[in-house]
A and B are shown apart, each in its own frame.
Chain A
Amino acid sequence: MKNPFSVELLGIKMNSPIITASGTFGFGEEFADFIDLSSLGAVTVKGTTLNPRVGNSGIRIHETPAGMLNSIGLENPGAKVFLNEILPRIKKYNMNVIVNISGATVDEYGELAAMLDVDGVAAIELNVSCPNVKEGGIIFGTDPTMAAKVVEAAKKRTKKPVIIKLSPNVTDIKLMAKAVENAGADAVSLINTLLGMAIDIKTKKPVLGNITGGLSGPCVKPVAIRMVYEVRGAVKLPIIGMGGIASAEDAVEFFLAGADAIAVGTANFVNPKITEEIREGLLKYLDENNCSHISEIIGLAR
């Protein structure tokens, strides 16, 4: 029998359309005790920058109703350490590795894309929407012209598929999607976190060391579904849908809205086996709805 989940996305053969979202799954290896990493469609590793970053100080995480705020600030060991130490170490898990990159300048995106054009990297995801860093980051994610420039810079320097992860912190997500499609992006990931904030009523000060942070978890799902639905109507690019997915039912909603693949983020923190449970639930859903392949449900809500 044909695997109902085997998909080809961006020319990458995947065992499943279930991906893990950057920043929520380390480098994959942290979850090796719990799941078979090779059964995932891909693992998007922690956001990587040209130079190592220690990230933000103070409190970096805060639980909110049905979600959480984070302000890690792109802590990572830098591209060189990733290439020389981490990538060779995680090879044994036989998983598709998508590397999420952040640049402080347009040129840095190009430079990172060139450095990562190596065996073992399946695709590059441009992070133009991190709300937690001062330079670059969100500016590239809220201005269509800048986002397009970042895509062009990366595409010029790598043969790998280039995905761009869009920010929900914009008035019209369709404009952003169209701009990056015209600039040559191969796919879009949406959504990144929503900019948020919490205040400690005892100290009367912001909870997070960085004052603001990115909101994720089940509470953002309706926003994400709406954006996937809108973007599906605006561009032809493959969509990796994400934002609050914590069950197979959530994943189904994303497929119905038009996502070609889905990514699980915050839910990995709560249940390190969640991607396996989603896979089983999806299988059941397909069966109950007389579908033999996941592609049969994509975009049905339109």
Chain B
Amino acid sequence: MVLRKILTDAKIVEQKSLAKDIFLMRLHAPDIAKAAKPGNFLQVKAQRGTTLLRRPLGIAEARGDDVSLIYRKIGKGTAELAAMQEGEIVSVMGTIGNTFNLNLKKPLLVGGGMGLSPLLFYAEYMKNASVLMGARTSAELFWEELFSPFVKEIFVATEDGSKGEKGFNVAFLPKILQQGKYDGIIACGPDPMMKKAVEIAKEANIPVEVSLERRMGCGLGACLSCAIDTKSGRKKVCKDGPVFDGEEVFF
């Protein structure tokens, strides 16, 4: 079912820094919070912002009347969001996009960097997942605390070895798959990570979904900016995704 999208002004009820340049913004947006499902994203913009286009951000949490976004300050748009204070207004359009597979019995989440954000919503919603998380360094692994109330197991890898295994998280995926009987993998993170996760899942004969991020204009399927190539032709991340069967996507 395709949900009706809405455009609304939402008040920031919480804005906090989780690590260097990484923020959690909680918004009071009852209609959006009720409609939100894991995998969905929002198109947001500071009400008095100076950037032109909205920024697509995955939903990290939807509880009661609030939705939370976890984002990294990487450009002008996200910097404007990060500079906002509690009580200020963000223009929100959503919910947008499809959902992850919500029927898995024992999912394994594979997330890197900000890709862990939509996976967090999935973990809380499902309460049956395990997660393999990757980060550059331990300071970026605030995710562990966020995931721990909702997941069965947490596997950690850092590129500098400051926490958990040393290296990219996907390097440890084959071993984890051998030890546990997962019925599906859901991956979100940098493209090379997802590409590798798909290869490993295919070898292990486990279904795999990926959630993609692309530059977006409208988020409505009108501007055609967020095109990707798949086995069934050119698709739009905003309208056909952001969740895709991992084996369908050409990375």
Binding site for B on A (CB under 8 A): 23-26, 30-31, 33-34, 46, 54-55, 59-63, 66-68, 70, 72, 75, 217-218, 266, 268-273
Residues of B with C-beta under 8 A to A70: 217, 223, 225
Given A26-B221, A61-B217, A70-B217, A272-B93 contact (CB < 8 Å): yes
Interface pair B222/A26, CB less than 8 Å apart: yes
Interface pair A72/B51, CB less than 8 Å apart: no
Q: Can you list 8 residue pairs at the A/B interface with Cβ under 8 Å?
A: A33-B6, A34-B5, A55-B227, A60-B227, A63-B76, A63-B77, A72-B225, A272-B7
Say yes or no: is B206 at the interface (Cβ < 8 Å to chain A): no
Q: Which residues 191-227 in B have Cβ within 8 Å of A in the complex?
A: 215-218, 220-227
Query: How many interface contacts (CB-CB < 8 Å) are there between A and B?
Result: 82
Residues of B with C-beta under 8 A to A63: 51-53, 76-77
Say yes or no: is B234 at the interface (Cβ < 8 Å to chain A): yes
Main secondary structure of the interface of A (DSSP, over half): loop
Report Cα–Cα, A270/B77, bound state, in Å.
13
Interface pair B217/A269, CB less than 8 Å apart: yes
Q: Which of B77, B218, B221 has the most CB of A within 10 A?
A: B218
Report Cα–Cα, A300/B52, bound state, in Å.
30
Given A33-B4, A67-B52, A268-B222 contact (CB < 8 Å): yes
Q: Which residues 42-94 in B have Cβ within 8 Å of A in the complex?
A: 45, 51-54, 76-77, 91, 93
Interface pair B224/A72, CB less than 8 Å apart: yes
Identity of the chain B residue whose Cβ is nearest the Cβ of A53 in the assembled complex: B234
Q: Which of B6, B52, B54, B221 has the most CB of A within 10 A?
A: B52
Contact of B52 among A24, A60, A68 (CB under 8 A): A68
Report Cα–Cα, A206/B220, bound state, in Å.
26
Interface pair A270/B222, CB less than 8 Å apart: no
Interface pair A60/B7, CB less than 8 Å apart: no
Interface pair A269/B215, CB less than 8 Å apart: no
Given A61-B216, A62-B215, A272-B93, A75-B224 contact (CB < 8 Å): yes
Contact of B220 among A23, A31, A66 (CB under 8 A): A31
